[in-house]
Chain A
Amino acid sequence: MKTTAMLAAAALLGAALAGPAVAQDQPVTITWQMWGSDQNDIAAWQHLADMVSEAHPEITVQLQTTPWNDYWTKLPVLAASGQLGDIVAMQSLRMPNFYSLLEPLDERISADGFDIDAFDASIIGGMSNDGVVYGLPYDVGPWMMFYNKDKFEEAGLALPQPGWTLDEFKQAAVALTGDGGFGFGVVPNGYSIFAAALGADYINEEGQLDLTSTSALAAADEFLGLVTREKVAPLVAPGASPGDIIAGRFESGNIAMMVDGPWSLISKRDTVQFEMGLAPLPRGEGDLKAVTAGSGFGISTSSQNKDAAWKAIQVITGPEALKYLAEAGRALPARKAEQTYWFDVAAAGVEGAREALEYSLSHSATYEITSNWNAVENLFTQYYPLAMTGSQSPEQTMQTIQSLAQSQ
């Protein structure tokens, strides 16, 4: 009995010792948790997964996609049940919530002499928490105004130029509204992006949510006023993804302007039947503050194949991969050198894309959020329709959201 046990132990030890040496070139399959529901998107991610196997034949990357909204429900559940994949896609806005699921990368970066400076600095910041890098970014981008160029021309309007103001935006929206069509689409949880562009403070100096500050309320009044006063944007119901409904109406030509980021350019450009243009967001009295977001990939702390995952994320955020994503229009590369491909190929035929983007990036600002931002966004979706129909004043609605967000 004892001998058997000892033999078994010795065999195990032997296996353990031999393990790493053999594992170097042994085939390994790693999983990649990614969002996406669009066929174009999934095909692009699959192409990246295949690039990993080309560069490292021993690594097979298994792609697992979940639609964007559900991804953030699924992620903590997978983590809690120990089933998180090896590579985890992470958005900069969600990093404060989820960095603890990811492996700090600083040591690997310095050990390999990995050139982190090739990336846009602001998005490396977005992929970090407390100065520690948790992911390599693949894209970066400010929210911008997507517009229907045909509609502007039909209405005889000058195309929006970088530096345009809120008043110019409202005038254009009014002129574009009529015949069942709307100038703009208000998506409730886009409030903070709109407010930031106008220079409003919805987060106080301590980093706490402050939706009832004077400037935050003024921005809410402007934003909701587009629906209630100017009537240039349609009412949206609080149901599933008002953003998708607005995007659908923009793509079908019913809404002339909407706020979105460079990451949406591919699906939009391929879907719409009209000529599309890009402009920065309108500014308020002062300079524009264009908030940015971006996404990247980290290594799960529970991964059994961290070395392989590290190799893989270097490939899928590498110059080749980002060039591919840029040319496909999927993402504005987080690597500065590759951004040119996005301008030359993906943004080709999109009016004003380069100017809008360069202007926005030169006025870029950190997107300030709280750690329960997911809950705050849900509250906007749930409560803003009350203010859009006039059941409540913008001020009352902002107070409700503020108090509910604090109680959570």
Chain B
Amino acid sequence: MTETVSTREATMAPPRRRNRMSAQEARTALVFLLPSLLGFIAFMLFPIIASLAISFTNWQLISAPSFVGFANYQRLFTLDPAFYTVLGNTLFFTLEYLVLNIVLSLGLAVWISSLKRGQRWFRVIFFLPTFTPAIAASVVWLLIFTPGGFMDTVFQTLALHVPNLLLDPKLAMQAVIIVTLWANVGYNMVLFNAALDLVPQSYLEAAKIDGASAWDRFWKIRLPLISPTVFFGTVMTAITSLQVFDQIYVVTRGGPGSATATLGFAIYQNGFGNYQMGYASALAWVMFIIIMALTALQFWLQRKWVHYDS
């Protein structure tokens, strides 16, 4: 209510004065925004526009680019035998990883918030991998997964017949998902844990007195109250998982075959392996549009399950 009133007051104020005020405020705001804005223009906006321009050329880095119209996009959708595999791999990875990440991080967050002591220690422990360099962590995982490596030895000792993850086209993506989960689950866990701590104790106590079980208290009080944070975590995780690259570059290089080649990896391979910058830029734009579309879809879906009434 207060918001509506203040808006009305603002509309009723003399228009000239308001304009001058807002112009002055805008100038002040601009000065404060300038450092970040300059960085954004130089390192984000310009490269983004440049990549769109490059996607219409056949630039190969060391030769001069020439304009080829929509040829790159045409090749992508109609000629490239690998594109749909790559797209499928990316979506498969995103879906499985997103679900596992949210479930695991939420589970960990709830578990940690239920602890009587040592909450801080567990938070730090699970958050540690988040600030470990992804490449370094992936190299360690590569040595664990590599044929004849640690994992094979463990399974052999236990007399279990588990095929090597990196050699089986059906399982290779699971290796990438394990590495990514290990590295990133801590971030969402900390977010959710903080949100859970903000849920008013009085609500939970009231529900407890009314006889609500722990299960009910979670689904009907805590989860709805932290749903804006879960939504934020889901959107951000979906975006980063569509861009997955580091782990794949180190652990599988897109193989075996094309089993783990994702959009991010295909962009790298075409751009910096085969030096086809134009084609790689076209792929990057397709990835950009997919991310935009999926994010828009998530924002549309949030109306069904996100509660902002706290």
**A, B assembled together:** yes
Task: Give A contacts to B, CB under 8 Å.
Answer: 73, 76-77, 79-80, 97-98, 100-101, 234-240, 245, 372, 374-375, 378, 381-383, 385-386, 388-389, 391-392, 400, 403-404, 407-408
The distance in angstroms between the C-alpha atoms of A97 and B63, with both chains bound, is: 11
The distance in angstroms between the C-alpha atoms of A392 and B253, with both chains bound, is: 18
Q: CB-CB < 8 A to A239: which residues of B?
A: 142, 146, 166, 250-253, 255
Q: CB-CB < 8 A to B253: which residues of A?
A: 238-240, 378, 381-382
B273 & A375 in contact (Cβ 8 Å cutoff): yes
Nearest to B274 among chain A residues (CB) is A375
The distance in angstroms between the C-alpha atoms of A231 and B258, with both chains bound, is: 25
A237 & B61 in contact (Cβ 8 Å cutoff): no
B61 & A391 in contact (Cβ 8 Å cutoff): no
Q: CB-CB < 8 A to B186: which residues of A?
A: none
A interface footprint on B52-91 (CB within 8 Å = 1, 0 otherwise): 0000000001110000000000000001111000000000
A interface footprint on B81-117 (CB within 8 Å = 1, 0 otherwise): 1100000000000000000000000000000000000
B61 & A76 in contact (Cβ 8 Å cutoff): yes
- Residue of B145, B250, B272 near A73 (CB, 8 A) is B272
Q: CB-CB < 8 A to A381: which residues of B?
A: 253, 255
B306 sits at the interface (CB 8 A): no
How many positions in chain B have a CB within 8 Å of any CB in the partner chain?
A: 36
Q: CB-CB < 8 A to B81: which residues of A?
A: 403-404, 407
Given contacts A77-B272, A237-B145, contact A382 B255 (CB under 8 A): yes
What's the least CB distance linking A331 to chain B, in Å?
26
The distance in angstroms between the C-alpha atoms of A73 and B249, with both chains bound, is: 14
Given contacts A80-B61, A240-B142, A381-B255, contact A408 B166 (CB under 8 A): no
The distance in angstroms between the C-alpha atoms of A383 and B85, with both chains bound, is: 14
12 A-B residue pairings within 8 Å (CB atoms): A100-B62, A235-B167, A237-B146, A239-B251, A240-B142, A375-B273, A378-B273, A382-B256, A386-B169, A386-B256, A389-B168, A400-B257
Q: CB-CB < 8 A to B79: which residues of A?
A: 407
Q: CB-CB < 8 A to A100: which residues of B?
A: 62-63
B228 sits at the interface (CB 8 A): no
A407 & B256 in contact (Cβ 8 Å cutoff): no
Q: CB-CB < 8 A to B269: which residues of A?
A: 378
A237, A239, A382, A400: which has the most chain B beta carbons within 10 Å? A239
What's the least CB distance linking A134 to chain B, in Å?
13
A240, A378, A404: which has the most chain B beta carbons within 10 Å? A240
Q: CB-CB < 8 A to B145: which residues of A?
A: 237
Given contacts A76-B275, A375-B274, contact A237 B147 (CB under 8 A): yes
B276 sits at the interface (CB 8 A): yes
Given contacts A238-B166, A407-B80, contact A391 B256 (CB under 8 A): yes
A238 & B254 in contact (Cβ 8 Å cutoff): yes
A236 & B142 in contact (Cβ 8 Å cutoff): no
A372 & B164 in contact (Cβ 8 Å cutoff): no
Nearest to A237 among chain B residues (CB) is B166
Q: CB-CB < 8 A to A408: which residues of B?
A: 270, 274, 276
The distance in angstroms between the C-alpha atoms of A235 and B273, with both chains bound, is: 24
The distance in angstroms between the C-alpha atoms of A77 and B81, with both chains bound, is: 27
B62 & A235 in contact (Cβ 8 Å cutoff): no
A237 & B276 in contact (Cβ 8 Å cutoff): no
B148 sits at the interface (CB 8 A): yes
Q: CB-CB < 8 A to B251: which residues of A?
A: 239-240
Nearest to A238 among chain B residues (CB) is B255
Q: CB-CB < 8 A to A383: which residues of B?
A: 255-257
The distance in angstroms between the C-alpha atoms of A77 and B269, with both chains bound, is: 14
A interface footprint on B138-150 (CB within 8 Å = 1, 0 otherwise): 0100100111100
Given contacts A76-B61, A372-B274, contact A385 B142 (CB under 8 A): no
- Residue of A77, A235, A375 near B164 (CB, 8 A) is A235
The distance in angstroms between the C-alpha atoms of A336 and B164, with both chains bound, is: 48
Q: CB-CB < 8 A to A80: which residues of B?
A: 61-62
A237 & B274 in contact (Cβ 8 Å cutoff): no
The distance in angstroms between the C-alpha atoms of A234 and B168, with both chains bound, is: 15
Q: CB-CB < 8 A to A388: which residues of B?
A: 167
Nearest to B139 among chain A residues (CB) is A240
Add 15 more A-B contacts to A237-B255, A238-B166, A386-B169 (CB < 8 A). A76-B62, A80-B61, A234-B148, A237-B252, A239-B146, A245-B146, A378-B253, A381-B255, A382-B257, A382-B258, A386-B255, A386-B256, A389-B167, A391-B169, A408-B274
